[in-house]
Chains A and B, each alone.
Chain A
């Protein structure tokens, strides 16, 4: 399933790039999300908000994308997805510790939130229900 994504920007204290994801996030498209985030980063984006309001399903592959994007925004090296599944498990991961400052989530739906909570991501990836509050938090 190809990823369905739109990108916008919002101005808070800093410019915030917003990725609006539509549909499910699974093993068929998580690499595309990483690629899109990498392209935004390469284009200068340093603060990224992922809008999950229209996402009803996230699998562990989707969680790989979230981890990889968080690492990207921390300035860590993120393996190129063309290097394969295994390469994603070997990125640098020794910089910013704790709550992620440059990558946040908007409106994860209850089922998606349950997955985030089950794997303990909710303590490190801030999620907002209000768009303006999310933008202002960066």
Chain B
């Protein structure tokens, strides 16, 4: 299992992506799966940094592991909780000028991963679990 714990700010996102890439390679993922994992984790960490911690920085724990035939990602933070059911799915067919700006981070996470689950606890913080069927390099 690959683990990373840091005081996360937006300037850390590039290092987080590098960590994910290295972890994905070590787990034998193919290029497409590594990129999907990077994008999903980056979006999740961006949400933590920008929304849960409102840009002020805060502790973020990231775990990446393989369980059975799935890659599993767990991200924990202790910032502000949010209700993902309040985030509307973007209309990707709508012209740009008819869309609200932004709001596609959660959508991208769900597109890149097979499962995205949020848990919020006042005592244990916020836990995001994502998983995706494993595609290894040939």
Name A residues whose Cβ lies closer than 8 Å to a Cβ of B: 1, 24, 26-28, 57, 59-61, 63-64, 67-68, 70-71, 74, 76, 85, 88-91, 93-98, 100, 111, 114-115, 118-121, 124-125
Contacts and interface: CB of A to CB of B under 8 A. Distances in A.
B104 A60 contact: yes
Contacts of A68: 101
A27 B107 contact: no
Contact of B99 (A67, A90, A125): A67
A107 B73 CA distance: 32
Contacts of B14: 1, 24, 26, 28
Contact of A60 (B35, B46, B49): B46
Contacts of B108: 59-60, 115, 118-119
A17 B107 CA distance: 32
A9 B107 CA distance: 36
Interface stretch (B58-66, B77-85, B87-95, B120-128): B87-95
B86 interface: no
B138 interface: no
A73 to B, nearest CB: 11
Given A60-B105, A70-B96, A85-B55, 19 more contacts: A27-B50, A28-B13, A28-B14, A59-B46, A59-B108, A60-B46, A64-B102, A68-B101, A74-B97, A85-B51, A88-B101, A93-B98, A93-B99, A98-B95, A100-B96, A114-B35, A115-B108, A119-B104, A120-B92
A30 to B, nearest CB: 9
6 contacts: A1-B13, A27-B13, A71-B97, A94-B97, A119-B108, A124-B95
B101 A89 contact: yes
Interface in B1-58: 10-11, 13-14, 17, 35, 38-39, 42-43, 46, 49-51, 55
A97 B35 CA distance: 32
Given A24-B14, A27-B10, A125-B96, A71 B46 contact: no
